[in-house]
Structure 1
């Protein structure tokens, strides 16, 4: 199936869609297999960090295009957490359907100007843009490990996105989606994050584009459903799926330490991750149904 435009999958009014990161071919296969089992659309994400790990964006992008071409469900291809303008433009040239430009650590004016410039360029090339809104230093306070006067990421512990600032940022930049801070953090290995659902609803009412939840690996099932019901539309999950994959690999190697053929442990890791992708996509679809009742 041809790539589906990201904007066709991320619906502000009705649906939550899973956006899952890949760094390995087996993870790409797992995401597509899980989506096909669930018979639900999915967004495949390649991050700036994943491109750096592989040494270039091209090989993983080419693999994604080849695998997605055979998928039986709608799939979008997204560049995640790009801080490099050159990488954004390369992703567009390589046929990505959306990009996330991350200027969240920049001062407000610089984040707005750079995001606006990149958004205009991407729109000229028919590509959907996600951004992340940073917070002015001092909001988190020293107790959160953030010094006064220092820019915080939107996912620094304790930071929350102000609805009025979010609406102004979207108006000033023209982005198509906004990642917001509502209680999650990246790289969480335990699902203990507490999401401010009332704030999610306020942001959904104030911001005229879909909201994106980063750091969703730290969110338990019930809260994910509630977050989609409150207004979150694109749900980014990476660390949790890495954990599922790695746990299965670890178990296989522990059971058979003499194994040397990587297919004997990477294959089961891929299968375990595919099962969790299927489960999560069904869960997010359930959240969308809750939000529409």
Structure 2
């Protein structure tokens, strides 16, 4: 398969009434596991690199280029997305190199700012992204777990969501419907009625963040209610770290990283395949 665009993958999911799994990666091994896992499930997907992951690396190009090349060789359609950018200058730098690095979309996240500032900045970034043929995801208020407005119990307002999309021209909207970032237990309770009302009222696909904390059945229900992009990150870290601990405990004298990273990659691959089938199967 060739490297796909976010527009093609998410647009296809909208047509089918399906979900698109979107997996955040930090290492090449995680990226390989994502590509292999979604191929196992035969589900198109997004591979995502966050601003935090980019700044962890030495430069944006190496990891994004690796994701691009893995996507080009994948057995299913995969698009590359840069997630949770809150620095306008870095966002513009990513967009300037989007074609070179295979980036199909970005998320500009100024949700911690006052509404007017968030909308104005997001609108400017959206104009730049669209001028380069890329999609942009925005966020109205913060998703819980990052210290913002969408703490547990807080929900996206339907009218405000409509207004924000109209003001900014975003192609995707992240919504607060009961999930939180960085959850290590799958105990989140989603407001499915709110998802359905948002889906009916907002003219762009909806994105669920914090999906690692959502049980499988609720993820499937969220897609049925109207969620079209499902972000997963922490879950990969949970299974990968557990596998690494097992590998090193079983072979405490090992020093070759390949010998233990194979098991880590395999564990993440299995989790990706399972979640991809739940979301997009």
Q: TM-score, normalised by structure 2?
A: 0.93
Deviations, residues 143-184 of structure 1 (Å, cap 9, x unaligned): x99xxxxx9635422221001100110011100010000011
Select 1:100's aligned residue among 83, 107, 110. Answer: 107
Once the two structures are TM-superposed, the CA of residue 91 in structure 1 deviates from its matched residue by 2.1
Once the two structures are TM-superposed, the CA of residue 285 in structure 1 deviates from its matched residue by 2.5
- Residue 72 of structure 2 is matched in structure 1 by 69
Secondary structure, counterpart of 2:14 in structure 1: coil
- Residue 45 of structure 2 is matched in structure 1 by 42
- Residue 180 of structure 2 is matched in structure 1 by 185
Select 2:63's aligned residue among 55, 60, 65. Answer: 60
Deviations, residues 46-101 of structure 1 (Å, cap 9, x unaligned): 00000111132111011112222211210100000000122222222133100000
Aligned length: 273
Secondary structure, counterpart of 1:35 in structure 2: helix
**What are the within-5 Å matches in structure 2 for residues 100-249 of structure 1?**
100-134=107-141, 153=148, 155-249=150-244
Measured on the aligned residues, the alpha-carbon RMSD in Å equals 1.7
Deviations, residues 182-223 of structure 1 (Å, cap 9, x unaligned): 011100000000111111111111101000000000001111
Q: TM-score, normalised by structure 1?
A: 0.89
Distance in structure 2 (CA, Å) of the matches to 1:152 and 1:271: 34
Secondary structure, counterpart of 2:156 in structure 1: coil
Contact 1:12 1:209 in 2 (8 A): no
Distance in structure 1 (CA, Å) of the matches to 2:150 and 2:265: 29
Distance in structure 1 (CA, Å) of the matches to 2:78 and 2:262: 22
Contact 1:132 1:154 in 2 (8 A): no
Q: Relative to structure 1, is the Cα distance of residues 175 and 154 closer, same or farther in structure 2, using a 3 angstrom cutoff?
A: farther
Moved over 4 A (4+): none
Once the two structures are TM-superposed, the CA of residue 263 in structure 1 deviates from its matched residue by 1.1
Deviations, residues 212-238 of structure 1 (Å, cap 9, x unaligned): 000000001111111111111100000
Select 1:257's aligned residue among 252, 270, 278. Answer: 252
Secondary structure, counterpart of 1:3 in structure 2: coil
Once the two structures are TM-superposed, the CA of residue 256 in structure 1 deviates from its matched residue by 1.3
Secondary structure, counterpart of 1:184 in structure 2: coil
Distance in structure 1 (CA, Å) of the matches to 2:132 and 2:88: 14
Once the two structures are TM-superposed, the CA of residue 254 in structure 1 deviates from its matched residue by 1.1
- Residue 14 of structure 2 is matched in structure 1 by 12
Secondary structure, counterpart of 1:190 in structure 2: coil
Structure 1 stretches lacking a partner, 5+ long: 136-143, 146-150, 287-293
